[in-house]
Structure 1
Amino acid sequence: MRCQETKEEEQMILLAETKECSVFQMKNDTGEGIMTMYQVFPGVSISYNDYHMESFDSTYNTNRNMFCIDHCREGRLEYATTQKAFSYFEAGDLKLDRRITHQGHFEFPLAHYHGLMITFDMDQAEITLKKEIKDFPVNLISLQKKFCKGNQPVVIHNAPAIEHIFSELYMVPEKIRIPYFKIKIFELLLYLDVLELPKNLEEKPYFYKNQVEKIKAMQNIMIGNLEKHYTQEELSEHFNIPLTPMKNCFKNVYGSPINTYMRVYRMNQAAVLLKKQSHMSITDIAGKVGYDSPGKFSAAFKKVIGKSPLEYRKIFGPNGIK
């Protein structure tokens, strides 16, 4: 099922299409994304979303009665809860909404996002599901009302069985794909139907725009000067944000504490240099990413990447075996 009656198709380029599947590309100056959409039932689709980009502007607008379930496998998505506040959808989360507030600017703080989306066009889907399984106990309209009482998405975190249901959807053999999708959709609907929600469903923490902007400026300074190690106290003072709120906001925006994020970022940048810059010694590369001790750099690199810098270069470098 394609995006119905929207302007978003103007952003999407159709790359390929079969009876069951359509592949779209989204592209802008921050990167590109691929959406692979399978028609499972009339009015019901599953889309795999693989984005390697920093942000996109959505003009999605529909007059259809929709019910959408998003699962994030990797990465994270920043979305506006109000004009002045943001929240985050991260790996392992489910997001349920009617696509009422799916317009505007969205960001991927880690510059990538991988997940899937199950979309129900309610007018068609309700009839279709009843035909597929007689006396199926889940009422789709009631389920939509259960999770979509307001305009903003509802995000479910770490609910039991979510990982089990969705992990299997990412590795389905092509031969059984459509019938398997059908089974998993019914399984998911049954699970959501019995899932007990708190009376006051907790929303994800949200952060004000000016606070998020400071955190992003902070990250930009740190990754722009990897040779320097900024203390958290220095950052707090420089950006005029108290230490505890700074730590909390950074973790929500980027998914990990400041020191952990920067260590992983440094090691990934070092991996790029080891792959492409054969003339640079490991000591030189260590210095480029902020380590004056090759021994400490090697230990950190192995902890993050899983191999020593020398092993990594032998395998993945310009003259390596891969």
Structure 2
Amino acid sequence: MEKIVKDSLHKIYFPYKERSNINVILQQDTDTGSGELTCYDVAPGIQITYNNLKMDSCYRPLIPQQDFLQIDHCLEGCYEFEQEKGNVSFLGEGDLSVSSLCKGKQLFVGSRIPLKKYRGITVLLEIEEAQKTLDTGFQQGDICLKQIRDTLCADGRSLLIKSKHEIDHIFSELYRVDERIRLPYFWIKVIELLLFLSLLDASYVKKPKQFSEDVSKGTQQAYQYIIENPFSKMTISQLAEMVHVAESSMKRCFTSIAGNSIGTFMKIKRMEAAAELLVSEPQLSICEVAETAGYENQSKFSAAFKSVMGVTPFAYRCKSW
């Protein structure tokens, strides 16, 4: 999601697909999947992009020619950033990051999409031009982009905010805005977002958690193993040993990638697989499905199933018939 505004942005990641007087749609198909960015020029120096990526990576080296403030919100999936020393950080579901892209400097040396799924929004501001727009279009707000950048992104740091009410409120409405009022509504939401950020001080600055490349890759292997083997009886400790990662490191990294603890994620995938069995194998009793899922006690299985799926196994099966 390393971008620069105007036409130069539209040529970095994807070749043109379509352009109208409102937006630019950029698309690319690769061996690892496909991705689409829908970019809206909200006002001079201000752009909003909807990211819908289903691929391993869309990284392109970028050294910006102006100073930018980049704000990213993740709705679904996960985005991995690689820094110069080989450490990686993650933007997960509900997270907001604020980064400074400085003229002539490369912020990231690589990026990946670990789950091959990322949906989110990027608000990109070319600081000099966007400031002129704010000064003429919203003088009463007294918003200073350089002050926001210097407060939240000093010394190359990034602000990372985990999902919270103020952020969720701002972005949830952006994901479902009626297209008939989209552009003027974008302007209102950008102002709301910048006003919120202008209230934050240095105490809010939190450097995203960093993980070594080995920890990141090993944790992603563990993630894939759970997906492919939802009924596995392997413990978390055994899983960490299998992927050659310290258990504590794997747990922290897994939460950053998946948005849930590894234990919760294993339970969810086990119940989802059990739900598929209830429908696809009607000859199996609920007790047999419970045993397949690793539960000797049917009542405990039913309680776990309901906590994930919202209904009992029996109700789920009846509803699906």
Q: Does 1:150 find its partner at 2:155?
A: yes
Distance 2:294 2:141 in 1: 61
Provide the secondary structure at the position in 1 that maps to 2:36.
Answer: strand
- For residues 232-284 of structure 1, the C-alpha deviation after alignment (integer angstroms, 9 at most, x for no partner) is 23234444444333323332333222221122223445556777xx5775569
TM-score, normalisation: structure 2:
0.81
Q: TM-score, normalised by structure 1?
A: 0.80
Residue identity in the other structure for 1:178: L
Identify the residue that residue 137 of structure 2 maps to in structure 1: 132
Q: CA deviation at 1:102?
A: 5.1
Alignment correspondent of 1:30: 32
Percent identity over paired residues: 29
Q: Is 1:168 the counterpart of 2:177 in the alignment?
A: no
1:215 to 211, 216, 219: 219
1:188 aligns with 2:193: yes
Query: What corresponds to 1:265 in structure 2?
Result: 269
Q: Which amino acid in 1 is paired with 2:235?
A: T
Shift of 1:27: 3.0
* In 2: Cα distance, 1:123 partner to 1:53 partner: 34
Deviations 1:180-233 (Å, cap 9, x if unpaired)? 21122122222211222218x331221112222222233333433334210123
Deviation at 1:125, TM superposition (A): 1.3
Which deviates more from structure 2 when the two are superposed, residues 39-48 or residues 126-135?
Answer: 126-135
CA-to-aligned-CA distance 1:35-80 (integer Å, 9 cap, x gap)? 2211110111111122233433333342122111111222222212
2:71 is matched with: 69
Question: Which residue of 1 is the match for residue 17 of structure 2?
Answer: 15
Number of aligned residue pairs:
314
RMSD: 3.4
Aligned partners of 1:214 and 1:239 also within 8 Å:
yes
Q: Find the partner of 2:53 among 51, 70, 73.
A: 51
**Any stretches of 5+ residues in structure 1 without a counterpart?**
none
2:112 matched to which residue of 1? Answer: 107
1:309 Cα deviation from its structure 2 partner: 5.7
Contact 2:83–2:108 (8 Å) recurs in 1? no
Distance (Å, rounded) in 1 between the aligned partners of 2:111 and 2:14: 16
| Counterparts in 2 of 1:149 and 1:233: CA distance versus 1, 3 Å | closer
Unaligned runs of 5+ in 2: none
Q: 1:10 to 1:315 in 2, by over 3 A?
A: farther
Answer yes or no: is the 8 Å Cα contact 2:5–2:45 preserved in 1: no
Gap change, CA 1:163 and 1:40, over 3 Å in 2 = same
Indicate the residue corresponding to 2:202 in structure 1. Answer: 197
Helix, strand or coil at the partner of 1:89: strand
CA distance in 2, matches of 1:268, 1:16: 38
CA distance in 2, matches of 1:272, 1:17: 42
* 2:96 matched residue in structure 1: 94
Tell me how far 1:289 sits from its aligned partner.
7.0
